[in-house]
Amino acid sequence: MLDKKTFSIGELSKITNLSTATINYYVKIGVLSPPKKINKTRAVYSSNHISLLKTIKKLKEKKINLNGIKEIINNSGFSEVIDKKNKQENLTISNLIKDSNISEDIYDKLIDSKIIKIPKISNDGIPYHTINDLTLSQAVGDILSLGINIQQILKNKDHSIFSRLESILLAEYIKSIKGEKNTKNISRVIQSFDTIRKYLRRLELEKTLYKK
């Protein structure tokens, strides 16, 4: 079946072990690109959709919520890196630096400032980073390319108290969930919390940028 160039949603469901409802939902929220329309009632998926769904499953296993997955998948240049990294659980330090387009000096500063976590050690004694670490370092590399100074980025450490306060508030939200505190409910709370905080941060940014 994998020798085919296109697949129906039923075939895609069997290959990826995901329900058709889940696949349709991923398309609806923009995590998965829409299938190609053949006619009014039929649409087909490509082998790229299979790769993306496998990527999504792996990212979900790493406890990344759908908003985070959407950013990774849809961010130009990031999805190719993630597809490649899905073949291995760990990223070496050199790979993280290379894929993030940052220098070793920048990497060291991020580690020293605790903006990125110290690498873990594999059973083979090799230091490694996670996909979450990669996403952070790529974001740093991206804004550095726009001319933002690394010292400005390192100021995040000085304001870590705000991150802790947000975490405390978010933890309170999660503890207040009625019924089962499963992954789905927790993810919903996190996504809604992120939306609220982003909105409030934007309001404060507008005040700061445009105050007279």
Whether residue 57 lies inside any domain: the answer is yes
Whole-number mean pLDDT of the chain? 82
Residue 75 pLDDT grade (very low, low, confident, very high; cuts 50, 70, 90): low
* Number of domains observed in the structure of the chain: 1
DSSP conformation class of 102: -
Token pair for 198: 């982003």
Report how far residue 42's alpha carbon sits from residue 35's, in angstroms, rounded to the nearest whole number.
9
Whether residue 152 lies inside any domain: the answer is no
Structure confidence by residue, pLDDT tens digits, 79-101: 454 444 444 457 889 989 998 99
Whether residue 41 lies inside any domain: the answer is yes
Give the residue-averaged pLDDT of 116-136.
Answer: 85
Q: Strand (E) positions, the chain?
A: 6-7, 36-37, 43-46, 120-121, 127-128
In the prediction, which pLDDT does 103 show?
94
The domain of 38 spans 1-61
User: Is the pLDDT confidence value at 147 over 80?
Assistant: yes
User: Is the pLDDT confidence value at 161 over 60?
Assistant: yes
Whether residue 197 lies inside any domain: the answer is no
User: 31: domain CATH number?
Assistant: 1.10.1660.10
Whether residue 55 lies inside any domain: the answer is yes
- φ, ψ (nearest 5 deg) of residue 103: -90, 165
Whether residue 103 lies inside any domain: the answer is no
Whether residue 44 lies inside any domain: the answer is yes
User: Is the pLDDT confidence value at 195 over 90?
Assistant: no
Report how far residue 170's alpha carbon sits from residue 205's, in angstroms, rounded to the nearest whole number.
22
Whether residue 4 lies inside any domain: the answer is yes
Could you tell me if 100 and 91 are in contact, meaning their C-beta atoms sit under 8 angstroms apart?
no
